[in-house]
Amino acid sequence: MKVTKLYKDFFDSEKAGGLILIGCTILSLIIANSNFGTSYHNFLQTKFVGMTAEHWINDGLMAIFFLLIGLELEREIYIGELSKLKDALLPIFAALGGIIFPASIFLIFNYGTATQSGAGVPMATDIAFALGILSLLGNKVPTSLKVFLTALAVIDDLGAIIIIAIFYTKTILWIKLFIALGIFALLLVFNRLKIRNLIPYLIGGVAMWYFMLQSGVHATITGVLLAFAIPFGNGDEKSTSYILQHFLHKPVAFIILPVFALANTAIALSGDISQTFTENYSLGIALGLIVGKPLGIFLLTFLAVKWGFCKLPTELNWKNIFGVGLLGGIGFTMSIFITLLAFDNDTIINNAKLVILISSLIAGLLGFVTLKLTLKPTTN
């Protein structure tokens, strides 16, 4: 399978970024449970230009992350794995399974309770962490498996974005939302006029982000909208979309996601941790990620192939797909991100973060072992 240089750059930065994420998480946990824990927490709540440092990270920097996700999705749709319906259906069905099954498991434990809003938490997949684990398998990993996992995770995150926009918007100020959408429409006009200079798009993107934030709709949605407004052209190295996507790879992988991890995994470990895992929301998150993700990805992919909607790449087998499904259970940063939107109670948020970390670790280890045992060495 032929892949572009841009995809290779994306994969390399994501896999290295995933390993850095692990280090940042460990560092954050150490700080949170040291004598500096209170000072660290207070720093994150310090206000800068009207918002706390934590909000700037979660609402500002993560919008840039979603801009990169949007650019990657756009490229996949135009010239990548999603450009042909037959090829696209395999990761699409996998992503749907990875969304429906974890959410269903969560709702079995939480439907009708105060925590049912957390159904979106086990749906998400952390691309960087998952690709980081996959990279540890070295030359055993065929290109088709890397592309499948990337496409699956990108579609998965698109699903998370849609869920954020629909279900985690509490109050909408319609005038400001319409202004944000008006700016988006203007950027689309720029695109149609074949304006290739990035500056007007970036200025418009900042303005759109501001009004989207003020409207009550989560501002990270701006990143995806901006991605589809930026001219793609023929997708070559001179295209506006390519230039921006290439530029964002390393800042996102090595700065934005590690900073997000440092800010949001500072979990103070206190009380009975075993008691935490008996809570309904904890069971829903853990089983959703560890059981629901691989089960949903495997079953819907299997049914899609069996019914003739798509076909499995020749170098892959169903054990490999199940292994990728386990890696899909690495929710980590994306699940934590949705946790911050789903819950208001600080205790529930703190406990949910801990459950996400442990569940993601278990899913990652199971996925690594499964793929290590089922993959054969390859030269691609």
Residues 6+ apart with CB under 8 A from 269: 29, 32, 33, 354
* 140 contacts: CB under 8 Å, gap ≥ 6: 371, 372, 375, 376, 377, 378
What is the 3-class SS of 112-172, one letter each residue?
Answer: CCCCHHHHHHHHCCCHHHHHHHHHCCHHHCCHHHHHHHHHHHHHHHHHHHHHHHHHCCCCC
Residue 54 forms part of a structural domain: yes
- With respect to residue 198, please indicate whether it lies within any of the assigned structural domains: no
How many residues are there in the chain? 380
Query: What's the pLDDT at 147?
Result: 79
- Judge whether 228 lies within some domain: yes
- What pLDDT score was predicted for residue 283? 96
Q: 10 Å Cβ neighbour count for 90? A: 25
- Mean pLDDT per 10-residue run, the chain (380 residues)? 53 65 87 88 88 90 88 81 77 92 96 92 85 77 81 79 75 90 96 92 96 86 91 85 88 88 82 80 96 96 92 87 94 88 89 93 94 75
CA pair distance 118, 173, nearest whole angstrom = 24
Give, in order, the Cα–Cα distances in Å from 310 to each of 83, 94, 307, 362.
14, 11, 8, 30
Tell me, yes or no, whether 179 lies in a domain. no
Task: List, in sequence order, every residue forming a beta bridge with 233; answer none if it has no partner.
Answer: none
Residue 368 in any domain: the answer is yes
Q: Give residue 97's pLDDT.
A: 95
What's the rounded Cα separation, in Å, for the pair 293 and 95? 9
In a domain, 299, yes or no: yes
Classify residue 76: in a domain, yes or no. Answer: yes
Domain that holds residue 240: 5-168+218-374
| pLDDT (0 to 100) of residue 357 | 92
| Structure-block tokens of residue 19 | 């390993």
CA distance linking residue 51 with residue 298, whole number of Å: 42
CATH of the domain at 319: 1.20.1530.10
| In-domain check, residue 188 | no
Q: Are 331 and 122 spatial neighbours (Cβ–Cβ below 8 Å)?
A: yes
**Number of domains observed in the structure of the chain:** 1
